[in-house]
Structure 1
Amino acid sequence: MKTIFSYLSPYKWLVIIALLLMLVELSVELVQPLLIATIIDDGILAGDQETIIFWGMIMLGISAIAFLAGITNTFIASHVVQSYGYDIRQALFKKVQSFTMATFIKFPSASLITRLTNDVTITQNVIFMGLRIMLRAPLLVIGSIIMSFFVHAYLAMFLVMGAPILILFLYFMSRKGLKLFGKVQKSVDQVTRKMQENLQAVRLIKAYLRGHYESTRFASVADTLKIDNVKAFRIMELILPVLLFVMNVSLMAVLWFGAKEIQTGTTQMGDLVAIVNYAMRMTGAFSMFSFIIIFFSRAKASAERMEEVLVVEEGTEEISTAPIDFIPKEGEIEFQHVSFHYPSTDTPVLKDVSFSVKSGEKLAIMGATGSGKSTLLNLIPRFFDATEGEIWIDGVEVKEWPLKELRQAIGLVPQQSILFTGSIEDNLGWGDSTATEESLKEAAIQAQIHQSIEQFPHQYDTRVGQKGVNLSGGQKQRLSIARALVRKPEILLLDDSTSALDISTENALWEALEKENATMLVITQKIRTAKGADHILLLEEGEVSAYGTHEQLMESSSLYREIAESQQEGGEPDELHS
């Protein structure tokens, strides 16, 4: 929690002022019973009206001061927690952006969403409560006990007789609450993940009429969250009855022995009233303890989850700037005996892969599903580092290239076309924020999407829905390709990025890309696409099965011939088989 609450440091003076204002409120609350005792003993019982008016006006005056202090405290506390929330969310988001792909695997996206939203809100609430009442409650209990001994030590002894029991009880309950609410937050992650998954697959769910089935699955995780919440709050609800019982027993003892003291004349009526007032304030403060423990337990669990993200050291990327001449310019790529397995498993995805692509050449990569094609592309921009072997770009080992310069030289078109909410122009410019309007249109023309854009009512200002929901699959793919071309990359990586294009559009695309002075690695399942490449790399279960031109592979590779024969010229490719 130390890391999380260190983000309050910029607001430490505001926090101090808020706490001082809270102490003003607390002081007034602790002084009031003494003033009431004075009014009773020296005013009401003595029949002195002037004393009643004098001390009554003082009570009104200090109450007004406490009221103003409370309003100001609330205003400052609100400013602090909102500023803190902004800072911690920015820090978390920035940290997440620095994660390597291997680190992303350890933190599911649903969990990260919960940490940046729900967990931040919970810590904000507990900070606000801390500046308003969370510290005030225990201080009110301690102050009431001290003032009670100041008023009448004998009666105060009965007031504090249950304190040791309550302290042990509250300690046990806070430990129990921390464990339970940590489990609740994990259940929230499960609900968030299920909602995210269903919203992303809404078309598929409707197409297969699986709404009822998915509702049943969601009900299962929602029920788990409900059960975890019920368990946590059921335990926490035990706190208030126990606190009130112990305090009421203490209060009854004060009243019983206080009445005897008044009868014998050893205690004044005002002193007993003051002790009772302090007892009532303690009871009220203790009643807040159950809520404080609930909020604190949830906040501690949330803070630990956020801190887990912020303290990650290994598995983060350093994006630093290198000298201007230290940039890939030719785009030559060479794999030397490269093997790779993901951090979470020892099963190799790539095994002893070697090949080379000269500057400006086009390499087609083919293979069955799961043969390691996409993984191979991911090693070039260093989303992952090879487990064994070396990858060279322009004669420099890829690990020696600064990430910023390496990735600026690469245009990536992923298998799943990802578009962002905004205009078409915004999405194209996302590839290069400095690109001119002419550059964007030039890239759109190359990607064969310009004519489609011109037909939209607002053309390049047309709004793109979330993930491009209002565009066809082919339009999304071509926009993704145009976005990569805007960068003018030395290396262009296309991960099965033309699967939704018709034959004529794809042919026009490849013809336009021939003019692009970039080294291209193209994952494809279409023989007609592979034919146009300088070389073809055929992968089988992570190993190089064949490498060469179309003609060479037709002669030397039975697997490639099988694929070619299964695809009639101009037809759609069948599923590749190993």
Structure 2
Amino acid sequence: MIALFKYLKPYRLFIVTVLTLMFCGIMLELYLPTLMADLVDKGIADNNIGYVWRTGGLMLLCAVISVALTILVSYLSSRITLGFSRDVRKALFVQVEGLSLQEFDRFGTASLITRTTNDIKQVQDVTSMILGMMTRAPIMLVGGIILAISRDAKLSYIFLASLPVLSLLIFLISRRAIPLFGLLQKKTDKLNLLLRETLIGTRVVRAFNRVGYEQTRFNEANEDYRDTGIRVNRILALLFPVMMLVMNFTSIAIIWFGGIRIDQGEMQVGNLMAFLQYAMMILISLVMLSMAFVSIPRAQASAKRINEVLNINSSIQDNEQAIDMPAADGVDVAFDKVTFHYAGAEKSALHNVSFTARAGQTTAIIGSTGSGKSTLLRMIPRFYDVESGKIMFNGIDIRRIKLDQLRAQLGYVPQKAALFRGTIRDNIRFGNGDVSDQQEQDVLEIAQAADFVKAKENGVLDEVSQGGGNLSGGQKQRVSIARALARKPSIYLFDDSFSALDYKTDARLRKALKQVTGKATVIIVAQRVSTVMDADQIIVLHEGEIVGSGTHKQLMESNLIYQEIVQSQQLEEESV
């Protein structure tokens, strides 16, 4: 958790101010029992009304100043802790955005959400507690002990019995609670995972009538979380009753033995009252410390999870010798003996893949499900890095090109259309904010999206809900294609981006693309033969290896797997 405190550096002046004001406030609080003792022993006992008024007025002034300082400290502490949590959250988000998909897959979406929200909140709460209770309690504890001893050293021996009991209790409870707090955060991850999975797949869940099954799954995880939470709270529940018991017995002992000392003339009534208040301050300080110590283990578990993400280095980043992408009219994309494994997979997703996609030409990738088509496309933007071999842009290994310049060459349309909240215009201009209204209209026409956009009440200013939930699959794909076109890239990557389109729209879209892509390199991953048959080069993938390449006509004459794909699709069309 200490590693996260580097994000408190911008607030050093605020922290010093808080500590100074807090120290002043505590000194005033510690001074009040002394004033009260003097008021009783010198004012009331001697019937000195003037002294009572003066001392009482001073006590009131100290109390007012102390309250004002406490309010100011609370305000400044809130600014510090909320700013601190904002900075950590920002750093975590930036780190996650920079991770490769391998690291992203390792943590999982649900866990990353929990770490960015719940875990940071735990650390924020404990940071607030450190600036408040954990700083206040030791000062008050030490000050209270010193002043209590100054009032009556012999009566202070009572603390030799009560303080070790409280300290032992805090130690035992903390030791039991620490492992459970870490477990509780993991169970929070599982709850988030199940909830996210069910909400995203709600259509499938309802279509297959599995609502009851999902409810059972969630309830089991929810009850598991509840049971762990109950175990933690049962342990913590022991803390306060026992503390109150110790505090009350300490008060009884002080009053009992203090009364004896007053009767013997060794102590005054005002001193006993002041000693009793100092004793309460000492014991309350220990209670405050115990509350902080109980909360720290959970924050430590959360901080560890946050640091796991912050300290990991992305496997994909610019190296020290990274170069700018040289200017060129077009970009040839070459795969040279590329092999790639997913983490934990037994077989390679791609094995010894070699081909070249030429500028000004369309290269299509086709193959059965799981043959590695989408994986191949994801290697080009360096979502994943090759295990062996290399991918080159105009003969330059893409690992030598700066990432931002590498990706600036690309217009990528993913297999699952990803749209963001905002307007249709916001989504089209997502990759290029300099698009004019006319260019926007042109890319919508090319993407065959102009008609349905015009039919919207607000046209391109119509709102897109989260994930494009208010658009059909085909509409989402066409807006995604328009977004890629608006970027005017050197390389177009279409990852099965026409699957939700009917054959007629698909044909019109491909014809329009042919006219505007010009010198750009076009790489299309597709399932339909009709989508790829006009390509200048068709690559046939099977189990991660290239088993054929050529034009549609050449492959129909020489490649058995391509022939089987064509035949299976023809049979499907005939059966329909």
Q: TM-score band, normalised by the shorter chain?
A: over 0.9
Partner amino acid, structure 2, of 1:190: K
Q: Cα distance 1:146–1:415, how it changes in 2: closer, same or farther (>3 A)?
A: same
1:199-214 aligned within 5 A: 199-214=199-214
Shift of 1:227: 1.5
Task: Look up the match of 2:130.
Answer: 130
Q: Which residue does 2:547 correspond to in 1? A: 545
- The Cα offsets for residues 414-461 of structure 1, whole Å up to 9 and x where unpaired, read as 110000000000000002122222222211111110121111110010
| Aligned counterpart, 2:474 | 474
Preserved contact between residue 325 and residue 406 of structure 2 (Cα < 8 Å): no
- Native 8 Å contact 2:323 2:400 kept in 1: no
Shift in CA distance, 327/271, structure 1 to aligned 2, threshold 3 Å: farther
The reply on whether 1:519 has 2:518 as its aligned counterpart is no
TM-score of the pair, normalised by structure 1? 0.94
Query: Aligned pair 1:112/2:98, yes or no?
Result: no
Q: Distance in 2 between matches of 1:321 and 1:108?
A: 32
Cα RMSD between the aligned structures?
2.2
CA distance in 2, matches of 1:350, 1:402: 24
The aligned residue for residue 330 of structure 1 is 330
SS of the equivalent of 1:135 reads: helix
Where does residue 568 of structure 2 map in the other structure? 566
1:434-493: CA deviations, max 9, x gaps?
Answer: 222222221111111012111111001000011111111100001111111111111111
- For residue 46 of structure 1, what is the aligned residue in structure 2? 46
Cα 1:316–1:350 change in 2 (3 A) is closer
Give the C-alpha shift of residue 282 in structure 1: 2.7
Aligned mates of 1:321, 1:414 — CA distance in 2: 30
**Larger displacement relative to structure 2 (495-504 or 185-194):** 185-194
- Structure 2 contact 338–354 (Cα < 8 Å) conserved: yes
3-state SS in 1 of match to 2:331:
coil
Answer whether contact 1:320 1:404 (CA < 8 A) is retained: no
Where 2:334 maps in the other structure, the secondary structure is strand
Give 1:372's aligned amino acid. G
With over 3 angstroms needed to count, the CA separation of the structure-2 counterparts of 1:425 and 1:320, relative to structure 1, is farther
Aligned to 1:529: 531
Q: Mean Cα displacement is larger for which, 234-243 or 408-417? A: 234-243
* CA–CA separation in structure 1 for the residues paired with 2:351 and 2:285: 66
Bigger mean CA deviation after superposition, 287-296 or 235-244: 287-296
Secondary structure of the residue aligned to 2:356 is strand
Tell me if structure 2 keeps the 8 A contact 1:496–1:525: yes
Match of residue 457 from structure 1: 457
Does the 8 A contact of 2:25 with 2:70 survive in 1? yes
- Cα distance in structure 2, aligned partners of 1:544 and 1:134: 65
What amino acid does structure 2 have at the position aligned with 1:79?
R
Deviation at 1:356, TM superposition (A): 1.6
Structure 1 position 267 matched with structure 2 position 267: yes
Distance 1:438 1:501, change over 3 A: same
Secondary structure class of the residue paired with 1:546: strand
Matched, 1:217 2:194: no
Q: CA offsets, 1:29-61, max 9 Å, x none?
A: 211111111112112222222222111111001
Aligned residue for 1:494, secondary structure, equals: strand
1:126-179, Cα deviation, whole Å (9 max, x unpaired): 222333333212332222112111111110111233323433432343343332
Change (3 A) 1:216 1:383: same
The letter of the residue matching 2:555 is: L
- CA deviations on 1:288-331 (whole Å, 9 max, x unpaired) are 34432333222222222222222223435349998776256422
Taking the aligned partners of 2:574 and 2:139, their CA distance within structure 1 comes to 76
Distance apart, 1:108 and its partner CA: 1.0
Any idea what SS the aligned residue of 1:571 has? helix
Q: 1:319 to 1:224 in 2, by over 3 A?
A: farther
Answer whether contact 2:98 2:314 (CA < 8 A) is retained. Answer: no
Give the corresponding residue for 2:17.
Answer: 17
The residue that corresponds to 1:6 in the other structure is: 6
1:331 touches 1:490 (CA, 8 Å); kept in 2?
yes
**Pair 1:317-2:317 in alignment:** yes
Query: Which string of whole-angstrom CA distances, capped at 9 and with x for unpartnered residues, describes residues 216-250 of structure 1?
Result: 11111111211221122221222223333333333
Q: In structure 2, how many angstroms separate the alpha carbons of the residues matched to 1:329 and 1:262?
A: 100
SS in 1 for 2:570: coil
Structure 1 residues 336 and 489 mapped into 2: Cα distance closer, same or farther (>3 Å)?
Answer: same
Per the alignment, residue 158 of structure 1 pairs with 158
Gaps of 5+ in 1: none
- Structure 2: tracts of 5 or more residues without a match: none
What secondary structure sits across from 2:573 in the alignment? coil
| C-alpha distance in 2 between matches for 1:430 and 1:330 | 23
The corresponding residue for 1:339 is 339
| Structure 1 CA distance for aligned equivalents of residues 125 and 212 of structure 2 | 37
Q: Which residue of 2 aligns with 1:237?
A: 237
C-alpha separation in 2, matches of 1:553 and 1:173: 73
1:86-144 Cα shifts (integer Å, max 9, x gaps)? 22221111111111111111221111111111122222222223333332123322221
CA distance in 2, matches of 1:82, 1:306: 17
Q: Are the counterparts in 1 of residues 162 and 246 from structure 2 also a CA contact under 8 Å?
A: yes
1:228 maps to a residue whose letter is T
**Range that drifts further, 47-56 or 160-169:** 160-169
Give the secondary structure class of the aligned counterpart of 1:514: helix
Determine if contact 2:29/2:62 at 8 Å carries over to the other structure: no
Amino acid across the alignment from 1:499? S
Bigger mean CA deviation after superposition, 184-193 or 168-177 = 168-177
% identical aligned pairs: 37
In the superposition, relative to structure 1, how do residues 183 and 573 fare at CA in structure 2: closer, same or farther (>3 Å)? farther
Q: Partner amino acid for 1:566?
A: S
- Do the aligned partners of residues 361 and 573 (structure 1) sit closer, same or farther apart at CA in structure 2, a change above 3 Å counting? farther
**Which range is displaced more, 247-256 or 189-198?**
247-256
Is contact 2:319-2:400 (8 Å) kept? Answer: no
How many residues were matched structurally?
574
Matches within 5 A, 1:9-408: 9-315=9-315, 317-318=317-318, 326-327=326-327, 329-408=329-408
SS in 1 for 2:547: strand
SS of 1:295's partner is helix
3-state SS, counterpart of residue 265 of structure 1: coil
